[in-house]
Amino acid sequence: MARFIFVTGGVVSSLGKGLSSASLAYLLQSRGYKVRLRKLDPYLNIDPGTMSPFQHGEVYVTDDGAETDLDLGHYERFSGVSAKRSDNITTGMIYNDVLKKERKGKYLGKTVQVIPHITDRIKEFIKNDSSKEDFVICEIGGIVGDIESLPFVEAIRQFANDIEKKNALFIHLTLVPYLKSSDEIKTKPTQHSVKELRSIGIQPDIIICRSERPIPLEHRKKISLFCNVDIKNVIETVDVKTIYEAPISFFKEKLDLQVLNYFRLKSKRPVNLTPWKKITKIILKNKKQVNIALIGKYVELKDAYKSLDEALTHGGIKNNVKINLLRIDSEKLKVSEIKSKLRNISGILIPGGFGKRGTEGKIEAIKFARMNNIPFLGICYGMQMAIIEFARNKLKLKKATSSEFDKKGLHIIGLINEWTKDGKKIKGTDKDLGGTMRLGSYDAKLKENSKIKKIYKKNIIKERHRHRYEVNIAYKQKFEKNGMEFSGLSPDGELPEIIELRNHPWFIGVQFHPEFKSRPLAPHPLFSSFIKASKNHK
């Protein structure tokens, strides 16, 4: 049976529970154990798919097509294990399940309550599909003390009893602030947060203290004493310069060793930190920079393009360069400013997006990249905009547009069922907005002698999708005759998946999201190639 590690947070959010969980997963894996990571989110949305990136950051998509919390991206990047739909659950999902069951009369006339019905469903989720794992690390979103996370905290308390406490470990991540004015480190918020946790019946086994500066022994002792935790289990995590240093720093603090000690397990082999040391060194020491412009709608919030940021960094690691990312708000990008704003840019990236706002700026920037031989990568919406730009300016189809934002015009991009007569493939796009997209991993067949095939070195690739609209295959010939190849198609040849320009050093658009599959220890070939081209761009 798997052992369960529960990670809760205290004092404030955004302390890096996801990163701590992911780093711990790597360390345990490296010691020879099989680990799975899960996230329990306390909000009422069924999934984050309908939330604006400004609200919740990026929506991370799994192979099996779930729209999940961005922490699952951290999990995959650090552990290398592909997350599944069953690895992210929200309060909304739990209530949805329970209420559906209630309507069907499955509770046999009982009063349906938070305890036991909601907590039972949470416990089922935690345990589901875990029999082959040595460890399941479950991160609870939000912080202890929030009204909305209460049922989750109650459920993990019960769960630990159900499986016997020796098979469950509670880790609490809190903030240990440093006060500049008095030059002091404060342990009180941690004490209060642990008190809060204990009031619900959970005594943490390990406390991870997030701090700006190293925590002196006397303060650790104080935390140990007041929070009733062995001093060896008071672990500090001081801000790191790059997130990829986190496994190294947790190893130094013996987090993984203390976890094994708790479960009375031995390490099966020594931890291998060499890959993290190598990439940390590259990231921190690299002097040579490559200027990349990211032109999108959500640039103000860093987390909105989390996986993309990471994938670019990975491309930089592969090419020994530092990525200097210039985030440009597509809504504010005036046509007259494009030349000056993109003057020192060596690569232009248009990410995924939704809706009309900011499209004209993007289209103009794409034109600039196409005409000036600047390496260009268009992702999902970025590819769709590249298609519109080419249709308007090269094919002279002035009315070319997407039905996503213009109901009239010439729909080169549209909902697939607007032009597919074959009943089989029609998607139910006129239903609710949630859960009506082409989601998850799909195959694409790459064209012989194309640039993309040289990059992937494969005939068939698998990449993750998240979109409602597609490029109309009917225009393929017209585009190809004029220099834009449809160099990747769905296996049935009906959906354009990749486009590239024949007479351009590096101009590629992809309908999928390659960023979700890039990992620091295995940079994605498309990003490596994009950064290489940008590095070589004069």
Strands 507-510 and 496-501: antiparallel
Interaction of residue 509 with ligand GLN, rule CB under 6 A: no
Name residues whose C-beta falls within 8 Å of residue 531's C-beta, 6 or more positions apart in sequence.
Answer: 290, 292, 312, 315, 316, 318, 319, 321, 323, 347
What would the two tokens of residue 494 be?
């009906």
* Cβ nearer to ligand GLN, comparing 67 with 256: 67
- Examine the residue annotation and report whether 117 is marked as an active-site residue of this protein: no
Q: How far is the CB of 88 from ligand GLN (least distance, A)?
A: 18
- The burial of 270, by beta-carbon neighbours within 10 Å (0-12 exposed, 13-18 middle, 19 or more buried), is given as exposed
Q: Which candidate in 219, 227, 515, 524 is catalytic?
A: 515
Strand partners, 469: 415
Q: Tell me whether residue 380 or residue 391 sits nearer to ligand GLN (CB atom).
A: 380
**Among residues 65, 163, 354, 417, which is the contact residue for ligand GLN, using CB under 6 A?**
354
Concerning whether 515 is annotated as a catalytic residue, the answer is yes
Specify the residue, 18 or 352, whose C-beta has the smaller distance to ligand GLN.
352
201 vs 355 by CB, closer to ligand GLN: 355
Q: How far is CA 492 from the centre of its chain?
A: 29
> What is the enclosing helix (H) or strand (E) of 349?
strand 347-350
Point out the catalytic residue in the list 380, 404, 467, 500: 380
Three-class secondary structure of residue 306 per DSSP = helix
Site string for ligand GLN, 396-435 (x = CB under 6 A): --------x-------------------------------
Of 417, 463, 342, nearest in space to 65 by CA: 463
Tokens of 219: 């303060």
4, 381, 390, 530: which one binds ligand GLN (CB under 6 A): 381
CA angle 193, 199, 200 (to 5 degrees): 105
- Pick between residue 321 and residue 416 the one whose CB is nearest to ligand GLN: 416
Token pair, residue 479, equals 């585009």
380 is catalytic: yes
Q: What are phi and psi of 327, to 5 degrees?
A: -95, 120
Question: Taking CB under 6 A as the rule, does residue 451 contact ligand GLN?
Answer: no
DSSP class of residue 83 equals P
Give the one residue of 468, 476, 519, 537 binding ligand GLN; rule: CB under 6 A.
468
Interface with ligand GLN includes 353 (CB under 6 A)?
yes
Tokens of 123: 């416990």
**Region near ligand GLN per CB under 6 A, out of 95-103, 280-288, 346-354, 518-526:** 346-354
- CB-nearest residue to ligand GLN: 352
Kindly state the number of chain residues that form the binding site for ligand GLN, as judged by CB under 6 A.
10
Output the smallest distance, CB 53 to ligand GLN, in A.
Answer: 11
Binding site for ligand GLN (CB under 6 A): 352-354, 380-381, 404, 466-469
Residues known to be catalytic = 380, 513, 515
